[in-house]
Structure 1
């Protein structure tokens, strides 16, 4: 048992270090960041196991958990805060709508209308949509201003930012040979100006029902298992390039920034750490529970985020994990400028 404990400790410490190491340096090891929460749970098991036996080995597991305490807060929030609403507040929503079920992945022809009703009920002031398509004919007429960037021939898809406040500048910087995109809009809210980035980074293409992973676990099918890890590794390398482009673009921005969207990576990754930078993770500031954003069987995955400038106060955060009309769940935060 202690041998297993030591092996787990080594893997956990490697996973602790990976957020500080670019995926291009250790692309295969970067996969460990996806299962860091599992490592923490197993270390907690060993801690209890040795504690009940009053063994000194408990010190090892206790040390691992103590050093990983900052990671626990990214995975699960034990308490939440919701500050009083004020007139100066504004709300921001991010949602990967999966083309509003245009190709009927879900056996429900009313998904587009249901999503529209949900957005109207929540009534966010700014909303960032990933995998958006005008072909689904979902009319967000409540929003006077929009920045929409789409590609494709017959079915155009892409990203969109809708706002109740004026948009006076917009753009995107799709990188050739990389999937998905990053778009932005400069928004005027009263005397304040905000730049909102809507990101959709390269997908690692894992099925939400994990049937694909379950099939790869079969030792007989080693070639498919290798293909899965190669695909994840290559996706992480592409995400790194997209993240670098975003970070450099943000450095030249003169306005307070909000970054929303589908990162397709965990909160324990180098990609997350690089994009977040000195911004606030709204879930960490005001969320509760797991903050699940992706409909992944057996595991409460959080791969969608809203990051806010430190000049803004995070007053509340919600993850609507019961609204199952896409493979992602919508998230929303309430913000206010600190001054």
Structure 2
């Protein structure tokens, strides 16, 4: 057996370091951010770790070296994480009369502060919603604007803060809303709202959540330096600790719900995080069930971040899921799922 060259020894060293870091990232979704707030930041780069593990696997495979087992085993153990990161396209199921659609969209206050150099953003969002015709819409970072009216939705619940533009969240529905409310997040301007929607003889609980923001702009890469990276790292760890408490509040509230639930919204965290795992619980991730590609929902230039979700009760079937990542009206992209309530087995 030939000895490794000095270059391969160096590559093996980096491979081992990557393997250790990847295993730590695998464990982090089961560790509360309050206990390890700094370590929890590593969940954001887990997809990148998986990519590098694949490259190492191919590097050793080409040389027919047994070291390929190192990253090969890592990838096999992380197969469920890979499914959260990328989905191969699947044909959507045929439409049926009982199907309904749900959209989640962080509209960034309809661009009232001119983050985008366009005056037509509110009208563009309204036209997009009109074209897609979702039966239920969950808006995050909603603002009251006379220009943005969704007149085709006879039922709505809007919760607003006491600021200039009454920003908050909104749920619009073509089905009657029989109850609604909010879940307050202490020491935060973020919150979750809910609406109980009557659909024929059934009632569904719709949650719209907007978890603690990490306050990092999509163009942060253009001006990052060592000092800013320390600030960002600290800001992320603090936000994740807050998100843990908010996720627990939402989960406790959902546990008392007598109806099948759908959780929509901006989690401000990845699908590899403790926060995601707590909120998802036994629910299905619509992207994992029927999505395709990376499911990028945040407009970050160099990374396919998926932080907006539609999570559904097991009694609901996910027939189709789409991310509209060509619709640039916000720093988020809208996501939509076509669902159907499974018949109750007797």
Same-fold status (TM-score > 0.5): yes
Residues 57-99 of structure 1 deviation map (CA, whole Å, 9 limit, x = unaligned): 1110100111111111101001323111011111000000011
Hey, what's the Cα distance between the residues in 2 that align with 1:77 and 1:237? 29
User: In the TM superposition, what are the counterparts of 1:25-40 in structure 2 within 5 Å?
Assistant: 25-40=35-50
- Unpaired runs of 5+ in structure 2? 1-10
Which residue of 1 is the match for residue 120 of structure 2?
Answer: 110
1:276 aligns with 2:317: no
Which residue of 2 is the match for residue 337 of structure 1?
Answer: 341
Give the drift of 1:109. 0.6
> Runs (4+) of structure 1 moved beyond 4 Å?
none
Hey, what's the Cα distance between the residues in 1 that align with 2:94 and 2:80? 27
Which residue of 2 is the match for residue 328 of structure 1?
Answer: 332
Tell me the C-alpha RMSD between the 2 structures: 1.0
Give the drift of 1:51. 0.8
1:189 aligns with 2:199: yes
2:104 to 91, 94, 98: 94
User: In the TM superposition, what are the counterparts of 1:155-194 in structure 2 within 5 Å?
Assistant: 155-194=165-204
Which residue of 1 is the match for residue 92 of structure 2?
Answer: 82
- SS of the aligned residue for 1:124 comes to coil
Residues 8-36 of structure 1 deviation map (CA, whole Å, 9 limit, x = unaligned): 00000000001111111111000000000
Residues 191-224 of structure 1 deviation map (CA, whole Å, 9 limit, x = unaligned): 110000000000111111233xx543x3xx34x3
Q: Check the 8 A contact 2:18/2:53 in 1, yes or no.
A: yes
Please report the TM-score for the alignment, with normalisation by the length of structure 1. Answer: 0.96
Please report the TM-score for the alignment, with normalisation by the length of structure 2. Answer: 0.94
- Unpaired runs of 5+ in structure 1? none
Hey, what's the Cα distance between the residues in 1 that align with 2:165 and 2:176? 28
Residues 286-313 of structure 1 deviation map (CA, whole Å, 9 limit, x = unaligned): 0010111000011111000000111011
1:142 aligns with 2:146: no
Hey, what's the Cα distance between the residues in 2 that align with 1:119 and 1:94? 11
Which residue of 2 is the match for residue 62 of structure 1?
Answer: 72
Hey, what's the Cα distance between the residues in 1 that align with 2:341 and 2:163? 41
Residues 155-208 of structure 1 deviation map (CA, whole Å, 9 limit, x = unaligned): 210000000000011000112202311000011000110000000000111111
Give the drift of 1:137. 3.3
Q: Check the 8 A contact 1:98/1:130 in 2, yes or no.
A: yes
Which residue of 2 is the match for residue 48 of structure 1?
Answer: 58
Q: 1:38 to 1:87 in 2, by over 3 A?
A: same
Which residue of 2 is the match for residue 289 of structure 1?
Answer: 293
Aligned length: 333
